[in-house]
Amino acid sequence: MTHILGIETSCDETAAAVVCGGCHVLSSVVSSQHNLHEAYRGVVPEIASRAHLERILPVVRHALEEAGMPVGGIDAVAVGNRPGLIGSLIVGVSGAKALSWMLGKPLIGIDHVRAHLYAACLKTVRGEAAIEQTEIYPALGLVVSGGHTSLYEVNSPVSLRPLGRTIDDAAGEAFDKAAVILSLGYPGGPALDHLAQTGDAEAYSFPRSLLGRDSLDFSFSGLKTAFLYTVRGKPKGRGRDVYFERTGSHLGDDQKADLAASFQAAVVDILIMKLERALERLDASGRRPASLVIGGGVSANSLLRSRAGVFGESHGIQVFIPPMGFCVDNAAMIAGLAYHDFIAERYDDLGLPAVATTDIFDKAC
Ligand code: KG4
Ligand code: ZN
C-alpha cells in the first residue's frame, strides 16, 4: 500500500497528514492559527508565514507519530504549492522539498482547489470503507471556501473542466464579512452558521444575484452590501468621512439570529440555484453527472449540507460532501489527491515553485 505524507500551509492552517492508498487517512493534524489572526478579523500574511515556520516540523512529526509511521516508511511527500498566500506556501513547499531530498522520495505539488474537490473521497481508517471512485465520477463539483467559489465538471480526481466561478467575493469570504458586521467570532462562517440555527430565515429578504439567465458564475458582493446596509443603515458622507446611520450595537440576540439565518439562506439559495443550472446544462449536452461533489470550508455549513442532500434526492444523483474535519483546510486532501499523481509517476523536482494563483481556470485538464 502507498503511504503519502501531505503538507498544507496555504493560508492560516499548518497541516500534515499520512494517507494510505489515496483515501484511508491514517493521521491528519491541523494546527490552526485562528487565535493569532482573531484580533485583526482576517489573516495577516506575515503572522501566518512566521507561525507556519514555527509549527511545520512539530506538525509533521505529530502526523507521522499518529499514523505509527517512521519517516522512512513513506513513499512520497506531497505539498499544496498553489494557490495561497505566497509567504505561507513557501514554508510548506520548502519543508516538503527538504524531506523529499533527505528521504530520496518523490515530491508532488498539489493544487489546493483540486484537493478540496477530492476531500469527499477521504475516509478515516476507523470510518466506513472508502468510496469506490467509479461511483463518484463523472461529477458536478462545487468548491466553496474562503478564497474560492467555483463549479466544475469533474471526470476523475485529476481531470476537471471549469464551468463557472465567482466574479467578486467567495462564499466563505461573504460569510466572514457578514459575521464581522454582526460582531461574531472569527472565523465568521461557523459562528454565523451556529447563530442561524435559532433564527428565522424569512425575517429579512436579501438579494440573490444570479448574473443573468445563463451564467454559471457567482457574485456575493451585492448581498454583502445589502446585509451591511440592513444592519447599519445607508452610508453618509464621502471618502474618508463616510459613516453609517447605526453601529449595529442596537441589535438584540433574536434580531442577530434572524439576520444570520436570512443571510445564510440567501448564500445557500444562490449556490443551489447555480447547481440546478449547471446540472441542467450538463444534462442538455448529454453529459449528466453521476454525483455532486462539494468541498471547501463552506461545505461544513449545516444548511448547505442539508440542501445539497435534497438536491441530490430530487435529481436522483448521489451527493458526496467531506466529513467535517476534511471540509476546511487539511493535509489529508493533499496527500490523498497526490496518490493519483504518484501512481502515474507524475513527480515534481526540487524546482517546484510556490505559486499564489491557481491555473485551474486556464486549462481544462
Ligand atoms: O477551505 P477553507 O478552510 O480555506 C480556504 O481555502 O479559503 O475555508 C475557510 C472558509 C472561511 O471563510 C470560513 O468562514 C468558512 O470556510 N466556513 C464556513 C463554515 N465553516 C467554515 N462557512 C459557513 N458555514 C460553516 N459552517
Ligand atoms: Zn482551502
11 lines ligand 1 (CB under 6 A): yes
What is the structure's pLDDT at 128?
60
Q: Give the ligand 1 atom nearest the CA of 13.
A: 3
In three state form, how does the secondary structure of the chain look? CCEEEEEECCCCEEEEEEEECCCEEEEEEEEECHHHHHHHCCCCHHHHHHHHHHHHHHHHHHHHHHHCCCHHHCCEEEEEEECCCHHHHHHHHHHHHHHHHHHCCCEEEEEHHHHHHHHHHCEECCCCCCCCHHHHCCEEEEEECCCCEEEEEEEECCEEEEEEEECCCCHHHHHHHHHHHCCCCCCHHHHHHHHHCCCCCCCCCCCCCCCCCCCCCECCHHHHHHHHHHHHCCEECCHHHCEECCCCCCCCHHHHHHHHHHHHHHHHHHHHHHHHHHHHHHHHCCCCCCEEEEECHHHHCHHHHHHHHHHHHHHCCEEECCCHHHCCCCCHHHHHHHHHHHHCCCCECCCCCCCCCCCCCCCCC
24-32 vs 13-20, strand pairing mode: antiparallel
Task: Please state, as a whole number, how many other Cβ atoms lie within 10 Å of the Cβ of residue 68.
Answer: 10
321 lines ligand 1 (CB under 6 A): no
Residue 6, beta-bridge partner list: 17, 78
Q: How far is CA 12 from CA 37, 43, 55, 56, 180, in A?
A: 9, 7, 11, 12, 18
Q: Which of 88, 36, 27, 34 is nearest to 61 (CA)?
A: 27
CB 44 within 8 A of CB 100: no
CB 80 within 8 A of CB 115: yes
User: Nearest 5 degrees, angle CA 203-CA 207-CA 210?
Assistant: 140
CB 178 within 8 A of CB 227: yes
328 lines ligand 1 (CB under 6 A): yes
Burial 88-123 (b: 16+ CB within 10 A, else e): bbbbbbbbbbebbeebebbbbbbbbbbbbbbbbbbb
How remote is the CA of residue 328 from the centroid of ligand 2, in Å?
Answer: 6
Q: Give the ligand 1 atom nearest the CA of 170.
A: 12
298 lines ligand 1 (CB under 6 A): yes
The pair phi, psi for residue 173, each rounded to 5°, is -65, -40
Site to substitute for ligand 1 among 12, 145, 195, 220, most atoms within 8 A of C-beta: 145
Nearby residues for ligand 2 (ion, Cβ within 5 Å)? 145, 329
CB 233 within 8 A of CB 246: yes
Cα atoms in the 13 Å half-sphere on the side-chain side of 63: 32
C-alpha cell at position 35: 487565535
User: Nearest 5 degrees, angle CA 79-CA 82-CA 84?
Assistant: 110
176 lines ligand 1 (CB under 6 A): yes
Per-residue pLDDT of the chain (365 residues; tens, 9 = 90+): 999 999 999 999 999 999 999 999 999 999 999 999 988 888 999 999 999 999 999 999 999 999 999 999 999 999 999 999 999 999 999 999 999 999 999 999 999 999 999 999 999 876 665 677 778 999 999 999 999 999 999 999 999 999 999 999 999 999 999 999 999 988 899 999 999 999 999 999 999 999 988 999 999 999 999 999 999 998 998 888 888 888 878 889 999 999 999 999 999 999 999 999 999 999 999 999 999 999 999 999 999 999 999 999 999 999 999 999 999 999 999 999 999 999 999 999 999 999 999 888 775 44
Q: Report the distance separating Cα 265 and Cα 260, nearest Å.
A: 8
322 lines ligand 1 (CB under 6 A): no
What is the structure's pLDDT at 365?
43
329 lines ligand 1 (CB under 6 A): yes
271 lines ligand 1 (CB under 6 A): no
C-alpha cell at position 207: 438579494
84 lines ligand 1 (CB under 6 A): no
Q: Give the ligand 1 atom nearest the CA of 179.
A: 14
Q: Report the distance separating Cα 264 and Cα 206, nearest Å.
A: 10
Q: Give the ligand 1 atom nearest the CA of 116.
A: 1
Q: What is the pTM of this model?
A: 0.95
